[in-house]
Amino acid sequence: MAKLHVERIGGLAGFGGTRAHIRSHGEIDLATLSTADQKAVEGLFKSKGKTPPSQARDTFRYRITRTTAEGVETIEVSEEGVPAALCHCVQDELI
């Protein structure tokens, strides 16, 4: 079963940055997503994560990683383009 590794970065607190004291990450099985969410994720990877830039300031971005037969693929997507199921799998951790 393919797993997606999801990391929330950016925002006002600078999550995921080199000086951040909070790490927000999660993991979800691709097969547990709805068909619509699976298609949305596939579309994000096909577009290499290219989505229109957010007009809001200090918004989050999501770094999504998957492993395929071709190797490991990672994309970064603005918060608006990420299916809710992926956002909900992310947990905050103090580091």
What one-character-per-residue DSSP string does 20-85 give? -SEEEEEEEEGGGS-HHHHHHHHHHHHTTT--PPPSSTT-EEEEEEEEETTEEEEEEEEGGGS-HH
Report the predicted TM-score, pTM, of the whole model to 2 decimal places: 0.83
Q: What pLDDT is stored for residue 1 in this prediction?
A: 60
Q: Summarize pLDDT for 47-68 with one digit per residue, the tens.
A: 987 766 656 667 889 999 998 8
CA distances, 29 to each of 2, 26, 34, 60 (Å):
6, 11, 11, 22
Residue stretches of the chain with pLDDT short of 50: none
Residue 49 φ/ψ region, left for φ over 0, alpha for ψ in the -120 to 50 degree band, beta for the rest: left
The residue among 27, 13, 22, 2 whose CA lies nearest residue 60 is 13
